[in-house]
Amino acid sequence: MTTKWVFGFDEVELAESQVDGDWDLVRALLGGKGANLGEMTRLGVPVPPGFTVTTAACNAYLAGTEGFPDGMWSQVLQALENVEHATDKRFGDPTKPLLVSVRSGAMFSMPGMMDTVLNVGLNDDVVKGMIALTDDPHFVYDSYRRLVQMFGAVVLGVRDEPFEDVMAAYRHRNGVATDAELSADDLRMIVDEFKDIVTRYSHTAFPTDPHTQLEMAIEAVFKSWNGKRARDYRDAAHIAHDLGTGVNVVTMVFGNMGEDCATGVAMSRNATTGEDNLEGDYLMNAQGEDVVAGTRATKPVADLAVEMPGMYREFEAIARKLETHYRDMQDMEFTIERGKLWILQTRNGKRTAQAAVRIAVQLADEGLISRKEAVLRVSPDQVDFFLHPQFSSDTKLSVGEPIASGLNVSPGAAVGVVAFDPDLAERWATQESKPVILVRPETKPDDVHGMLAAQGICTSSGGRTSHAALVARQFGKPAVVGAASLMIDVSARVMTVDGVQIKEGDWISIDGTTGEIFHGALETVIPDIEDEWLMRLLSWADEFRRLGVWANADYPHDAERARANGAEGIGLCRTEHMFFEPERLPIVRRMITTKSLGERRDAVNALLPFQRADFAGIFRAMDGLPVIIRLIDPPLHEFLPSFEDLTKDLSDLKIQLISSRNLPEIDSILGRVTEEQAMLERVEALRESNPMLGLRGVRLGILIPELTRMQVRAVFEAACEVAREGVDVLPEIMIPLTSHVNELSRQRGVLETEARAVMEEQDLEIPYKFGTMIEIPRAAITADELAEYAEFLSFGTNDLTQTTFGVSRDDAESGFLLQYLSEGILPSNPFATLDIGGVGRLMGLGVAGARATNPDIEIGICGEHGGDPDSIAFFDELKLSYVSCSPFRIPVARLAAAQAALNAETKN
């Protein structure tokens, strides 16, 4: 059976019959543009006659070496003959000339990414015939010069500049501002010069045979599917590279035949705000590319109501008809030829995040779509756009290219002066009210105060789950990490990139959404999270989701923000972050470095009031909602100065000692040497070959039980305190890094005894749970055993991913992982989107095992994957109790969880 490669616009029903009426498959076959041209024809919308060469033909052409697939060209010629009958014109006939446009059209809209050729069919003879027919040589030669230029550029690969230089020279010579003001004689001479440019630059004469023009134009559109800009766009838009493009051959209608002609592009609703009114641009006496090329000042489409009121009313009615039919905002191209309106294209319009939300809600209010469909219409990325400051595209264009780029780990825009150390960042921000960007080779927990004070964070190393990335997301700080081209010299207070020096105090701007870094201060736009349309959409999402959405929050103000964004609990409160506050860190270091059990006990007791106050504030903020508090997790060395810094400081002090002649100064230096030496010895004693798999988490609690007992005491004293205030307190204690059930049973026994003691002292009973964090493969495999001693389990997927892959996340993301991703060895970054085949399989084993022991056990996830929409879909499939993520990702997770549930419902 002969493959049908070509469908007329009036054959859309035939295309449907070949794919069992599945409209998505029709779009895959004909491309979005071809499918919609056919559908509009069926609806009676005025569409110029034409036909579509299928995406299958494109793929066959690109896969082969012999040109068009068998039978395609003969089908094109037959379809062209059908168009001739429909228009009473003939292709290449000077007496009744038919001209066509050749336009791309893939399944998914890729505006401007592939090629188009207009006015195909013109040659010298046809030009003469058209002049005789129209008595308008200006219009004819204007159309001819456009064809030669577009054909040269699109089909033969000639650069645009030589053509533009000619046009500019003629405008200058005639003292006119626009191409439309040139005379017919000028345009005739321009055509000749354009033909010479084509021959000179392509070594090929402009083809005069119309059928050769058509054949070469179709080939060019096929080839444009694999053009760099098209591939780059598909990469960014996550569009598959194997779909191919359709080619639409459409009868030319002309908006440049006089003052009763026009052409334009318009949306059925405002694509920026979502308001329900036509929005777009048009030009009188012009062709379509004039509107989009920016070569002429366009008019707002509302002005058409004044210049051509009848045409405006007809277009308005068609826009409403198409929006109602497609049940979405439409982006339409139109041409008015001598008082006749033609629609050349419709597609679902691109829109801002704000517009996407408003339009979805309004369409649901109008009954065009259901609330479920409205929730599915808005992407989680669009919700995320509401939550952070942003740079407008116009602002970026005004400053040019970024100076560097890295990983876009925390979205939003930040502008500030560069500070290379956290103390200075904090001082400038708090004492001098300067906006600061903290720039570091990498960050450590010690830097958290500077990070909190800064508007944004930039590092030259690190990955998506590095410290900088985690803290940035936690606190909603825009961040770019792993910008390897930045040469940061902290000691000299300068960074260099491509020969440009940026000193401390200079202004930079970072875009955490794209990973770009700019020199200078860019203007930002602050989105409004209180958007009424977003709030309504998220309230609908909450009705449909099965997963709870909790937050990772370490401080009361984080908890308040999380609750305001819709969090239903705290899934991870990291107690160690509280230890890095300036007034607490010296106490923590004293606790670690002392060899006296009494001094250690005193230090632990000194920390108790701080921890109690922290927990009380979080409990108040989360009144009536559960709060999971993770006991201290990181290795102790993270709270101490680094071995390398201490060694350097000690060497410097010894040099000062040798050179000093002042006795008081010598005594002072000796005292500092003694202190530094003692600290160095303790740091060296705590050094481990692999500290992330060393003395941390539950192991630390077992070896230093007074530390975790203090933390539990602080939790329950705070709970009793706020309970007496009338707050409904629901604490859950999480023991980290458990790998064996005996660790959990031992630590729970010690800690629960402390909890009971506090409640007896306070004469108050607090409902509580004890649970553990699953970060080690063995814990996932033996979750059935852990569930005997845990009332809840929480997957820490950041560390679980590390331990499953056997890699360091920071080293991997700044090293081999980049190559793995670029070469397709891994389909995605497993630290950004969960590795379902490995880590996900372990999670599945853990969930099944735990629920076999306790069917009602609470199971959640508190890694960074808790805010990733793709990962959330898997967590919904696992039937977890909740996901926990940054307060700023809560709205995203709410929507993603609803979409996961709705998609699962559709599959079932």
Residues carrying an active site annotation:
467, 862
Q: What is the DSSP string of 278-344?
A: -EEEEEES--HHHHHH-SS--EEGGGHHHHSHHHHHHHHHHHHHHHHHHTS-EEEEEEEETTEEEEE
d(CA 491, CA 504): 11
Which pairs with CB-CB distance under 8 Å and at least 24 residues apart come from 306-309? 307/262, 308/262, 308/336
Residue pair 593/569 in contact by the 8 Å Cβ criterion: no
Query: Which strands, in side-by-side order, build the sheet including 487-489?
Result: 487-489, 494-497, 500-503
Residue with tokens 């709970």: 719
Q: How far apart are CA 629 and CA 711, in angstroms?
A: 9
Using a 10 angstrom Cβ sphere, with 0-12 exposed, 13-18 middle and 19 or more buried, the burial of residue 42 is: middle
DSSP H/E element including 501: strand 500-503
Both tokens of residue 145? 């010069």
Cβ contact 870:537 at 8 Å: no
Alpha-carbon distance 722 to 543, whole Å? 31
Query: Which uninterrupted H or E stretch holds 627?
Result: strand 626-630
Three-state secondary structure call for residue 755: helix
Residue 604's identity, in one-letter code, is V
Which sign, positive or negative, has the C-alpha torsion 780, 786, 792, 794?
A: negative
State the Cα–Cα distance between residues 797 and 838, nearest whole angstrom: 12
Structure tokens at 220: 């060019």
Q: Cα dist. 860→772, 773, 876, 885 in Å?
A: 11, 9, 11, 11
Nearest to 372 by CA among 762, 905, 761: 905
Residue 832 dihedral angles phi and psi, to the nearest 5°: -100, -45
State how beta strands 500-503 and 100-106 pair: unpaired
Reduce the DSSP state of residue 440 to 3 states and report it.
Answer: strand
d(CA 776, CA 801): 9
Beta bridge partners of 795: 774, 861
- Alpha-carbon distances of 162 from 149, 153, 181, 190, 198, rounded to whole Å: 10, 10, 20, 12, 10
Cβ-count burial of 233 within 10 angstroms (0-12 exposed, 13-18 middle, 19+ buried)? middle
Q: Is 175 left (phi over 0), alpha (psi -120 to 50) or beta?
A: left
Could you write out the DSSP letters of every residue in 74-115?
HHHHHHHHHHHHHHT-EET-TTSEE-EEEEEEESS--TTSS-
Q: How far apart are CA 413 and CA 135, in angstroms?
A: 57
Q: How many CA atoms lie within 13 A of 55 on its CB side?
A: 22
**Distance from the Cα of residue 594 to its chain's centroid:** 48
Task: Tell me which DSSP letter residue 839 carries.
Answer: I
For residue 187, the surrounding DSSP H or E stretch is: helix 184-202
- The DSSP H or E segment spanning 658 is helix 643-659
